[in-house]
Amino acid sequence: MPSQYFDEKLAKRCRSFRFEFAKRPLAGCTVVVAGGAGGLGSALVALLAKEGARLIVGYRSNRARAEALRAAIEDRYAQKITLVEGDIARPEVRGAYLDAVENIGGRSKGGGLLHAAAIFPGDPARVSFEAMNQKAMEASLEANFLAPILLAKDLGTAMDASAEDPASPLRAAGGGSIVLLASMQAVAAFPSSLNYAAPKAALVHAARVLAAQWKHVRVNVVAPGATVAGMAEASVSSGKYDSFVEKGTIPRFGRPEDVARAVRFFLEPDGYATGQVLVIDGGLTLRR
Ligand SMILES: NC(=O)c1ccc[n+]([C@@H]2O[C@H](COP(=O)([O-])OP(=O)(O)OC[C@H]3O[C@@H](n4cnc5c(N)ncnc54)[C@H](OP(=O)(O)O)[C@@H]3O)[C@@H](O)[C@H]2O)c1
């Protein structure tokens, strides 16, 4: 018996090599970029603004940097962004992201509909193995696991509920998408990284569980390596990782644009990858 899900028109198109690739699939989509004012997140904000996405950008307390990013984005891409301030570990701050989604753009233009979210907040949680204690571990667990996963839960639950309705525009767009930020240290063991790496590894597993949990929301993880911006900037510029370039382990240090392109891939509407981890480390964890 022929499959009721097989689309003969589509198959015919493929047989005649007429493939379809959307030019600016995220244009007009509402996307939350939590931690989007940071070193890596700001590159994603620029990439999505260039494409015409409607952006809700979060930061914890560095308002000056967030306002500077907003001004730069408006200036370069003529695109307005909505800022959300506060620690995502707090429920009212997570609620403020959902309120911003409701308010953005007005209902007539699709306000209230969240298409995708990228969740960047994290903390380097630097503490030597000898000095590591319960307090340091709990702080890292909150910053690198609890807070981002709770935000993913809140935003993903809203997206999944909205796409449950077969007539909803999110369902028509192929459901929602969430991307979480881990680290190469979550997928490969580096000495002295216990306090940072273990909660990031837990985040990777939680992302897979969420991907299995929701029917209409894809959940993926991007795991950057040593990147020249953001929280690794001081370590990279200090020469700590120079030997990796000198020995040819990596061709160069990572750039925020490398990470932004990977995150954007997962955010595209109607994507077909879920529960995956994309390591963007120039091959460092493979060749070291
Ligand atoms: N940079 C790298 O080379 C690298 C490598 C591997 C993994 N990563 C991961 O990539 C992600 C982004 O890193 P980054 O280098 O861009 O960091 P970053 O420059 O320190 O930026 C972090 C951003 O998140 C915000 N933030 C931090 N904690 C928050 C919280 N609890 N609630 C709300 N906002 C919060 C910060 O706001 P404020 O500035 O206002 O505090 C800032 O906007 C992190 O998860 C990190 O672990 C980075």
Model confidence pTM above 0.95: yes
Distance 10 CA to ligand 1 centre (A): 42
pLDDT reading at 115 higher than 90:
yes
Closest CA to 203 of 183, 175, 232, 231: 183
Query: Which amino acid, residue 146?
Result: L
What count of residues does the chain have? 288
Q: What is the pLDDT of residues 205-240, one digit of tens each?
A: 999 999 999 999 999 999 999 999 999 999 999 999
Question: CA-based angle 82:85:91, to the nearest 5?
Answer: 115
Pocket of ligand 1 (CB under 6 A): 35, 37-41, 58-62, 87-89, 120-122, 143, 147, 181, 183, 224, 226-227, 230-232
**Atom 30 of ligand 1: nearest residue by CA position:** 87
Nearest to 222 by CA among 150, 138, 119, 147: 119
Q: Whose CA is nearest to atom 25 of ligand 1?
A: 35
Domain borders along the chain are 25-225+259-282
pLDDT, tens digit (0-9, with 9 covering 90-100), for 121-167: 999 999 999 999 999 999 999 999 999 999 999 999 999 999 999 99
Identify the band that residue 198 occupies on the pLDDT scale cut at 50, 70 and 90: very high
pLDDT score of 112: 79
CATH superfamily for domain 25-225+259-282: NAD(P)-binding Rossmann-like Domain (3.40.50.720)
Task: Please determine, for residue 49, whether its predicted confidence score (pLDDT) is greater than 70.
Answer: yes
Q: Indicate the top mutation candidate among 32, 60, 193 to test ligand 1's pocket, ranked by most ligand atoms within 8 A of CB.
A: 60
